[in-house]
């Protein structure tokens, strides 16, 4: 369980998304975001492990599906294929990624680990963690990404720091059935 100071606790319970950036690499970014969901952990887990539904959580995601692979399934992993599309000024960027996904539960914490297999990044990983918190669930989402094209880390981290909170707020709306 993370330690949340009183001010951060008030912010989380008021619906804010808290973010932290971490040094990562010259061409990549690393951001961790925290959000409180006023739903039980088992309900949130059920929603998050329905990977095709992620297109509802993330506005830029246009496709999310589990790729059937018996060898990956037998090792306790799933393979996920996702496509996102984002408009920047006068052009649109489209990225595809194949991820290896591991779902675990340990010490009242549910975790989903996404590990890059191939796609339009040099590297990508994300860890999503759910913990009981107050009368709901604390979701922690850590992302590390390095795009295939060299872009200074400062720009990558700022883009992630802006997009991730909006995406998590949208995720909360969908999971909690709120407009």
Q: What is the pLDDT of residue 149?
A: 72
pLDDT confidence of residue 35:
96
Reported as a single tens digit per residue, the pLDDT across 58-95 is 999 999 999 955 454 445 689 999 999 887 666 677 88
Residue 151 has pLDDT above 80, yes or no: no
Q: How far apart are CA 74 and CA 77, in angstroms?
A: 7
DSSP string, 22-87: ----SS-EEEEEEEEESS-HHHHHHHHT-GGGHHHH-TTEEEEEEEP-HHHHHTTEEEEEEEEEEE
Q: What is the pLDDT of residues 119-135, one digit of tens each?
A: 988 889 999 999 999 99
pTM: 0.86
Token pair belonging to 78:
């799933």
pLDDT above 80 (res 27): no
């Amino acid at each position: 369980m993370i330690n949340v100071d009183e001010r951060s606790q008030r912010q989380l319970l008021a619906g804010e998304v808290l973010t932290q950036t971490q040094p990562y690499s010259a061409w990549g970014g690393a951001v961790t975001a925290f959000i409180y969901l006023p739903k039980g952990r088992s309900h949130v887990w059920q929603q998050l492990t329905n990977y095709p539904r992620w297109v509802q959580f993330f506005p830029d995601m246009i496709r999310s599906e589990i790729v059937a692979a018996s060898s990956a399934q037998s090792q306790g992993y799933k393979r996920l294929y996702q496509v996102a599309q984002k408009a920047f000024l006068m052009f649109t960027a489209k990225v595809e990624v194949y991820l290896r996904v591991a779902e675990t539960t340990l010490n009242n914490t549910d975790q989903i680990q996404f590990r890059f297999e191939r796609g339009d990044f040099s590297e990508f990983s994300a860890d999503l963690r759910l913990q009981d918190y107050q009368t709901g669930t604390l979701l922690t989402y850590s992302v590390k990404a390095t795009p295939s094209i060299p872009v200074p880390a400062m720009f990558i981290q700022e883009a992630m720091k802006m997009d991730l909170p909006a995406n998590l707020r949208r995720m909360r709306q969908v999971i909690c059935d709120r407009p």
